[in-house]
Chain A
Amino acid sequence: QVQLVQSGAEVKKPGASVKVSCKASGYTFTDYYMHWVRQAPGQGLEWMGVINPRAGSISYAQKFQGRVTMTRDTSTSTVYMELTSLTSEDTAVYYCARVIPYSAHWFDPWGQGTLVTVSS
C-alpha cells in the first residue's frame, strides 16, 4: 500500500536548521508530486511548497522563500525538506503529502508528521 514515512521528532535551537525526510513506498516515486504542509500547535494547516521528484523542479510558498529547500533522492524514493534560521514560530508538525501531477489538487496520502520544536 502507498506509504509515506517521515523522520523522527527534532528539537532545535533558534537560528539552527532542520532537515526532515519523507520516504515513499508502494508506488512509482517519480509519478507523483510531493508537497510539504505544516501545522503549528492548535493551528490550521499551511502549505510550504512542492517538489516534482522526476524533474527535481520545485515551487515554494512566498513566505518561506530563502529559508526552505526541498530536494529528492530517487535512488531511495525519499524527499527532504530543510528549513533554516529557525525561530519559535517554526515550531510545528511538518507533513509530506502526495499529489497527482497536472490534474489533481488534493493531498493523499499524508506522512505521519514530524514534530519540530524550536526552543532555547
Chain B
Amino acid sequence: QSALTQPASVSGSPGQSITISCTGTSSDVGGYNYVSWYQQYPGKAPKLIFYDVTNRPSGVSSRFSGSKSGNTASLTISGLQAEDEADYFCSSYASSATPYVFGTGTKVTVL
C-alpha cells in the first residue's frame, strides 16, 4: 500500500488561506469518507484536527476545514496564523491488508 501523496511544503502570509491536498486511490481516499488530518509540531505527537473528511473535533479552530473530491482530500486553513506553522498529515482507511495509510506530510510555513 503506497503512501498518500501530499505536497512537501505549502506557505502563506498571515491572514491568507492555504490548501493542502492528499491524493490516494479508489481503494483508500476515493473509496471511503474516512480521511483524517493531523497537525504535528516538531518533536511532538500528532494531534487530530479533522476526521471523516469534514468533521472537526471540539477545540479545533474553525479556520480549519476539510473536503474531498474523488481520490483527493483537502485541508484548508483560512486566516493563516503563526501558530499554524507545523507539519500536516492525512490518513485514510483502505481496503487492503494494511487498513490505514498515511500521507507523505506537508510542512506549512507562515511567511
What residues make up the interface of A, taking CB atoms closer than 8 Å to B? 35, 37, 43-47, 59, 61-63, 95, 97, 104-113
Q: Is B101 interfacial (CB 8 A cutoff)? A: yes
Residues of B within 8 A of A63 (CB): 98
Q: Verify A95–B46 contact, CB threshold 8 A.
A: yes
Across-interface contacts of B48 in A (CB, < 8 A): 106-109
- CB pair B100–A47 under 8 Å, yes or no, is yes
Can you list 22 A-B pairs, Cβ within 8 angstroms, ordered by A?
A: A37-B102, A44-B3, A45-B102, A45-B105, A47-B100, A47-B101, A47-B102, A59-B99, A62-B97, A95-B45, A95-B46, A105-B34, A105-B52, A105-B100, A106-B36, A106-B48, A107-B36, A107-B48, A107-B91, A108-B51, A109-B47, A110-B46
Which chain A residue has the least Cβ–Cβ distance from B87? A44
- Complex Cα distance A108/B36, Å? 10
In the complex, which residues of chain B have a beta carbon less than 8 angstroms from the beta carbon of A59?
99
A residues within 8 A CB of B52?
105-106
**CA of A37 to CA of B101, assembled, Å:** 10
Task: Let me know if B76 is at the binding interface, CB within 8 A.
Answer: no
Give the residue of A35, A47, A62, A111 whose beta carbon is less than 8 angstroms from that of B45: A111
Q: How far is the CB of A101 from chain B (nearest CB, A)?
A: 13
- Contact call B45/A113, Cβ cutoff below 8 A: yes
CB pair A110–B45 under 8 Å, yes or no, is: yes
| Closest Cβ–Cβ distance, residue A48 to chain B (whole Å) | 9
Contact of B89 with A by CB under 8 A: yes
Given A106-B48, A110-B45, A113-B45, do A47 and B98 touch, yes or no (CB 8 Å)? yes
Chain B residues closer than 8 Å to A105, beta-carbon distance: 32, 34, 36, 51-52, 92-93, 100
B34-63 vs A, CB cutoff 8 Å, 1 = contact: the mask equals: 101010000011111001100001000000
